[in-house]
Amino acid sequence: MQQSAVPELAHTHTRPIHWLATATAVAGVVALSSVLQPNPATAAPTAGPEAKNAPAATTPPDPARIEFPLECGPVKAVVVKKATGDLDGDGSPETVAVVHCDSPMGTPPDGVYVLTHAKASATPRVVATLVDPKDSITVSDIAVRDGGVEAELLGYSSTDVPRCCPDVKDSAKWQWQNGTFVRSTPAGAHSV
């Protein structure tokens, strides 16, 4: 029997401990990226008289053209749902985007952001955060109806519930009132 010139290396054979170490490292990166987040955006101040004379934009803001206030570490933020409509009554449509980090494992929490066009520009900007990813909520449905944002939210009753399996369902509606989005809850939270 002929001997090899290079000794066999221990790390060339994968074992369960290698997969466990990789999974733990990836989970740590995902968890850390959800903790290190910028402060949420707040609603824009009401427009002055000069803005009333400006022509209304007819094209809704495109969420693909914006960087969201979401820290995703080595993965990118993805828009998973969107809805459009005039939320503030100015005749221009806004876009509501549901965004999360494109995590390869688990159920990443969603952020819900309201986008509008920047003044005198077609560049969209975030004007409000309706759901912060720090709240560990997943959005199963989103719509703009009657000038308000309606959403079906999935969450967790405790930290003991696995992040794959939300056990609380809630409905929420946000309406633009006096220069800010006000949340109301049409139905109470109930278990899924």
Spatial distance between the Cα atoms of 151 and 157, rounded to a whole number of angstroms: 19
Length of the chain: 192
pLDDT bracket for residue 163 (50, 70, 90)? confident
Helix (H, G, I), strand (E, B) or coil at 47: coil
Residue 187: pLDDT above 50? Answer: no
Question: Residue 99, CB half-sphere, CA atoms under 13 Å: how many?
Answer: 27
Query: Given this model, what pLDDT does residue 191 score?
Result: 47
Spatial distance between the Cα atoms of 186 and 170, rounded to a whole number of angstroms: 9
Query: Given this model, what pLDDT does residue 116 score?
Result: 93
pLDDT bracket for residue 50 (50, 70, 90)? very low
Quote the percentage of the chain above a pLDDT of 70: 66
Residue 8: pLDDT above 70? Answer: no
Helix (H, G, I), strand (E, B) or coil at 1: coil
Q: What is the DSSP letter of 134?
A: G
Closest residue by Cα to residue 107 from 22, 191, 31: 31
